[in-house]
Amino acid sequence: MSSGPRNPTVASDAASAEQPPRLNLKPAEPTPGDHGFVDGAWWPRSRDLVAELPTLLAALAVRLGEIQRMAYNLAEWEPARRHLDNGGHRVRLGGFHSQGTNTIDVTGSGGHRVTLLVVPPETAAVNARAMSLAAADGHNVDSATTLLARRASRSRNTVPRPRRAPA
């Protein structure tokens, strides 16, 4: 007998570890003259940072090398410990009230860093995909706030068109 519908935004440690991260990144080499607020977007399955991070950090290590630290907004995630074991080394997790809303910063070896738009886990799939693709557009210069605001102002079938840097 079933205990009722499961909340789709809640993921266990095991479930998150088995699924690839929903991640879209801008090209590694930025387009000359284009600067943006975010380097891509991540759509986590829950607000449990410790459960969500292992697959994300593994995917980002391809670009950043060994991940050293990650900063997040304290108000947007469940309480998390200060360190996470990631493939045999410790990643320092820093929760800050001053961290940008709906963003995380991930720093790898050599000081390389990416800032990601965090698409709220409860976002409808079609909107989350549209926001993620817009954030990962190599010419996108929109802020995280602008990218998320477009979700509410556009129909469910249109992809947000990112603002482009002046030519």
User: Helices in the chain by DSSP H: which ranges?
Assistant: 13-18, 49-64, 125-136, 144-153
Side-chain-side CA neighbours of residue 129 (13 Å)? 7
What gap in Å lies between CA 138 and CA 103, rounded to an integer? 18
Q: How many whole angstroms separate alpha carbon 40 and alpha carbon 85?
A: 24
pLDDT for position 125:
94
In the block, residue with structure tokens 């284009």: 34
State the number of CA atoms in the 13 A half-sphere of 71 facing the CB.
13
CA atoms within 13 A on the CB side of 88: 1
The residues facing 92 across adjacent strands are 69, 83
Q: Are the C-beta atoms of 16 and 93 separated by less than 8 Å?
A: no
User: Mean pLDDT throughout 55-62?
Assistant: 94
pLDDT tens digits for range 84-117: 998 888 999 999 999 999 999 999 998 899 999 9
> 131-153 pLDDT, tens per residue?
999 999 988 999 999 999 876 55
Map out the domains of the chain as residue ranges. 39-153
Percent of the chain at pLDDT above 90? 63
C-alpha to C-alpha distance for 159 and 97, rounded to whole angstroms: 31
Residue 50's Cβ-count burial label (10 Å; 0-12, 13-18, 19+) is middle
Which residues, in sequence order, are CB contacts of 19 under 8 Å at separation 6+?
45, 55
pTM: predicted TM-score of the whole model, two decimal places: 0.79
Q: Is the pLDDT of residue 13 over 70?
A: no
